[in-house]
A and B are shown apart, each in its own frame.
Chain A
């Protein structure tokens, strides 16, 4: 670009510029500490209104008091000094959104942090929004295929549902969520992953993993890292759900993952204590329930009349020493439509994903399950429940009657089938075939240690030998009598050749 061109451009810009000057409400910083500023003046300010500081940082007014306003500073507060002029903007905090945000990593204010340049945006969405009302909603009846056998079969998730993933550290909570994102390829789903207070190294690893799996094409990552201020951690999930709402407003289905809400509650506790709000149980402020309930209520399935689309939320909670009766876990359990319990003991026993099937529930998901899966999963649930009961009892004696022995053997195989390595989602049709073989007893003749081998073999075999059955499941979501016959024959053939 020549010099003349630059000068010409600059001149044009300056000529087009007209300074819009109007009366502004201003205040003065009285004190500033730990990401909080106390500001005098700003008489007509609204709650959670955006304010600007002289160095360009923004803040949000949270505490409106008689003669001062408590502001949380979103960003670097080291350059803000006492006496600085603070301007009210008259706007509720909002973030820029557009389709260009897809595949990017943005911070809690919607600004890109992945070094791939600016995101061109044309719209802004407010961070806080009242959740869709009753008349705009519709029941959950479409499945979210996570590709994880134990979830799709026993704890199914529907589009628009809120399903909590809860467990101790290092039990595979994030892994479960990532697998769910990876499996959304070609499922007509947009994913938003909100990372709250996580290590940047973990996020980077995750981003690379998603890129390798081709999942970044339909995923947005909202990051509020551990090194950023609590204020950003506090608003990150709201920013994430605003992005999700932007896509839902286009009638699309969105899957949003909050990783994790325990750290979000801790960040909010920090802010609240600094703002001198009275502490309650576990030093959390009184409105910590509302903090999460208003966030998770924004997950919904909207009916066609109001534009359709859905937001499915998978919040994650990290417990300490399996204590699910702590304050935040109980709160979030009561808000969500079910939970997936992950246990350390199961994890170290080699049962991965370490889902405790007895304690995990999905309150609305079963209506979203496809019919074929419902059929096989019903028997599977029963098998597993009986196995758990007998397992403890069987440890005391070895002389068991034939039917008990049979149930134990079936249970062992069921547990084995539900094991699944990370990053290996299974298609729903394959899940149906494998679980059918299990619950109809075809696997009873296969030694337990060979189940994995059998399963993989069966999938490969059926993909080439049962194309009609696959088509039937994909189209009608259920098998016909004829289809079942051919499936039975196919499994019998394979089992015979496998056992040889």
Chain B
């Protein structure tokens, strides 16, 4: 990245990084993000290693769950922390395992401001030419998840389970993720639909390293996600 920290363009941006047992990679990921963005909050989701300390040393604000709650809960915590910071106007969720790229976030922020959107979701599947070597089985499952989800279809989204999202204060203030586990991605989309947030997609490249593949969720988890989605409306919030 050729933009220096002193660059003030992104002073109102907060990057939320949920992390669980990522001590070996979190330092590099935070440093990489911090090369462009000043404000990073890492939510250590009750890790058994020193993820939170490493993130703090790398320059991130560190918020630690006393127990492991799940990625959805970590994102909600990070957003609640970030939206309370003075001057915070733009927020991004960014996975801790190094599969996302900072340049994609920069492009998504530009789209958020230029297109008058509330929420920009990253997609792996926008253009077949740049499909980021997503493994075939994973691609099939993710595509059918998007096709099966009525909300994703109505909003015209192709990849609801992408961890890369950029959104404004309206979305941050209205965000109330109740699915602590991996079902939060669909819940995010449902919230966007219910709250009439203007959503758009931006093609991003996912780096499938051996590390991020080993940390990824098993595909069978899709069953849980569909089940949680059906029950969601029946739970009090």
Interaction A to B = no
Q: Which residues of A contact B (CB under 8 A)?
A: none
